Amino acid sequence: MNNYSLLLKAATLAAISSSALAWSGCALAQAAAPAPAATAGTPAEAEDEIIVTGVARKDGLRKLDASFSISTASEEMIRETQPTSTADLLKIVPGVWVESSSGTAGANVFIRGFPSGGDAPYLTIQMNGSPIFPPPTLSFLENSSLFRLDDTVERVEVLRGGPSPIFSNGQPGATTNFILKKGTSTPQGSIRATLGSEGLYRGDFVVSGPVAENTTFMIGGFYRTSDGLRDTQFPADRGGQVTGSLTQKFDNGEVTVYARRLDDKNAFYTGIPLISNNGKISAYPGFDPGNDTLIGNEIRRVSIEVAPGATPVTKALDLGEGRGAKITTLGATFDFEFDAFQLSNKMNYLKGDANTRGLFTGGNPTSLTSYIASQVTAANRNAAVLAAAGRPATGGSATFVNGSGTVAGSQAVLEAGIWSVDKQLESFTDELRLSREIFSGNNLTIGGYFADYSSRDLWYLGNNVLLTVEPNARLVNVGLNNGVAVSRSGFVGSPFFDVNASYNGRNTALFLSDEWKVTPTLRVDAGARWERQKVDATLENNTTGVDLDGNPLTLYNNSAAILNGTYRTIEYAKSKISWTAGATYSITDRLNVFARANSGFAFPQFDNLRDGQFNVQTVKQYELGVKTSTRFYDLFLTGFYNRFKGLPFQQFVQNPDGTQTNLTRIGGSRAYGLEFEGAIRPITGFELATRGVVQDGKFKDFGENSGNRVSRQPKFLIALLPSYEFSTGLGEARLFGTFTHVGKRFSDVENQQALGSYETVDVGASLDIDDHLSFQATVENVFDKLALTEGNARIIGGAASGGTFLGRPIFGRHATLTAAYKF
């Protein structure tokens, strides 16, 4: 892959001709009847945009008047961003740090210095105002993995802090609400084709129109196949989705029902070998850090041993399934007015599978000679192995599993686990709100929220294989000279941690919110929420240290964890109250200031309870902000402070003897900072936008790590986004780009794995030939920058202080070309 050919050359020439630094990604061609983008050339839209997320009443609130921080993106802005995944879109949001280097699914998302070891525990993904799955994160499941972007999405609103702890599922971090298109009164639609230099072929469509008087429909979706942003030697991304809705309008309201089916398989990328020289990171010899991966055809299809027997029971795995999803979602929104009352209801039901088949790297690479020596030492120290062999080992040898001969002692090798996680998900959520104006300027809202959700889990973690350190790695077999077999078809280990669990959760909440326009320039609001969570679970117990085949001479399965047929149960119930209060003052119609305080919480989820973490996480947040928007400029500033307590931190770490330990800790943090986004439009057609954050987050009450910086999140991030629109003989053209600077970070809570600062440049160009035909071309990471999103997550401390180490870089340069036709 990544022989960029004519596609890359054409896209690069079209984009770089803009002489603009790129606004990340590509404005994919316009779809049916788009609303005007809240960007250059349409300042009125930016000034008067109405938002509905975090607002009590169904009719929403002008974004400029909101007493909280919220970012929005229209359909066109989403396409300009050209996100590699749903989570990757959130890079447009100040105060949100996204690590999307895992591919389409499995991102890590961090909010405003909230401490986290990964996944996205403080990010809620909503569709039409309903959480698609009530827990924001379970192990091996962050909820952006359950949602795919396509042309059926009209816009997105991302609320940080503010009143978020009061409504919906009470998320204290960020709530991302994807709002779907509805049917239209006249027939219309669009089709779009996308090609990518990584072997991407994608088609999108959306059609809408009337069914009957006051009844309209919308249907759309996508299908795509891709070799992947890293070369896996097989189709890395395959699948698509279809979404449909019906809207019925009445004299006093409307009802919309919608359905979505997602069936998608996505490669899951983890760490690769890199070189560190006094903190300066470079490529490992023979390994392209932007495009290569250890995954390949040789380890794609394997069988892991999961239960004992003379011939151990096996489970077939295919890494081609990656971290995909087969999900059906049904939902409805109901908005009516009855005399002085407004009634709103949002319902969502989800059912399906979200499994993981992934290669998880462990300890840093070593030479085969050193690896064999360590196995000789371990075998000779084991009395049972020594007795069965009859003599100690003095050496060993290795061969390639594929039959290509003996492996040289100088060959670099590493152990990596092939992990299998099955998740069967089901959830139902419903939120009901009733609003009424109590007196002039004062609106009171009461509501309730109910969620019932479950996960059926079957995990086999571990299953280490011995691999050559090269792209599309080869499997290696090792045997000792006293008859001991270190490996089986490359496997040097069996499962170290199994889970067979049935989890059920139920949350019930009541909330009250009041908004009062005290004067024409002063608006205040306050709210409170009571919520109760109840969880019950049944889990099968593990027996560890089991020899699966009863033969001490086969080291690869001598120390397995197995499900043993005994069970334990968990019963948990807890109630908690959250609150918020805010005010906004209009200095002018286009200049507002606001203040906000809230107190939120996060209940322990299924995996926390399984590991004995019953504490409720609490966070207090304070915000001060300024908002202004005119024809010539926009500016949104939010200063924030938060104090976090009760953080459960979980990490699977690699021990020196090759075993792994599930490490858990409880701690807290504090963070303060300034989010900013804005734009200037000095001349017609030209805009220079910016977004970013300056923040300082540190651990508190976290033992020896207290005072360390919160892991993974930069202290400073800024993006500059120039664009220029102009007319040509062919049609309306747009040149755009993004220059992004990401500050230094630490991969670990010990602050010993430093992740350096870096800059990237993206460029793009678009051409709308007429009202029907559009083209776009983009190049991302133009200069093929090497930069890390994380270090070695399986090692505590200074894993990257010098020499060879494992880390996960951003993707290399890639190009995209799209064409769309509206009708």
Q: Which residues in the chain land under pLDDT 50? A: 1-44, 799-801
3-state secondary structure labels for all residues of 573-632: EEEEEEEEEEEEEEEECCEEEEEEEEEEEECCCHHHHHCCCCCCEEEEEEEEEEEEECCC
Q: What angle do CA 23, 99, 107 make, to 5 degrees?
A: 120
* Residue matched to tokens 């009733």: 434
Question: How high is the pLDDT of residue 25?
Answer: 31
Question: How high is the pLDDT of residue 687?
Answer: 97
Distances (CA, A) of 213 to 172, 250, 366, 482: 42, 10, 71, 84
Two structure tokens written together for 236: 């890395």
Strands 123-127 and 174-180: parallel
Question: Considering just the CA atoms, what is the radius of gyration of the chain in Å?
Answer: 27
The DSSP secondary-structure symbol of 423 reads: E
Two structure tokens written together for 646: 């009760």
Q: Can you point out the beta strands (E) in 54-170?
A: 61-62, 69-74, 96-99, 108-111, 123-127, 130-131, 137-138, 141-142, 153-160
Q: What's the rounded Cα separation, in Å, for the pair 609 and 812? A: 39
Strands 522-546 and 495-517: antiparallel
Cβ atoms 637, 622 nearer than 8 A: no
Count of CB atoms situated within 10 Å of the CB of 309: 11
How many residues belong to the chain? 823
Q: Nearest to residue 271, comparing CAs of 660, 812, 789?
A: 789
Look at residue 494 and give its three-state secondary structure.
coil
Count of CB atoms situated within 10 Å of the CB of 327: 23
Q: Can you point out the beta strands (E) in 88-236?
A: 96-99, 108-111, 123-127, 130-131, 137-138, 141-142, 153-160, 174-180, 188-196, 200-212, 215-226
Question: How high is the pLDDT of residue 21?
Answer: 28
As beta bridge partners, residue 373 has none
Q: What's the rounded Cα separation, in Å, for the pair 726 and 820? A: 20
Domain boundary assignment for the chain: 5-818
What would you measure as the largest C-alpha separation in the chain, in angstroms? 92
Question: How high is the pLDDT of residue 705?
Answer: 85
Cβ atoms 114, 160 nearer than 8 A: no
Q: In the CATH scheme, what architecture does the domain 5-818 have?
A: Beta Barrel (2.40)
DSSP secondary structure, 242-259, as one string: EEEEEEEEETTEEEEEEE
Q: H/E element holding 537?
A: strand 522-546
Two structure tokens written together for 287: 């390994």
The DSSP secondary-structure symbol of 285 reads: T
* Residue matched to tokens 């979706």: 221
Q: Nearest to residue 146, comparing CAs of 107, 193, 100, 101?
A: 107
Cβ atoms 283, 289 nearer than 8 A: yes
Q: What's the rounded Cα separation, in Å, for the pair 493 and 809? A: 27
Question: How high is the pLDDT of residue 647?
Answer: 78
Q: H/E element holding 475?
A: none
Look at residue 319 and give its three-state secondary structure.
helix
Q: Nearest to residue 173, comparing CAs of 224, 97, 81?
A: 97
Q: Which residues have a Cβ under 8 Å from the Cβ of 321 and sit 6 or more positions away?
A: 265, 355, 357
Q: What's the rounded Cα separation, in Å, for the pair 56 and 447? A: 9
Look at residue 370 and give its three-state secondary structure.
helix
Cβ atoms 389, 464 nearer than 8 A: no
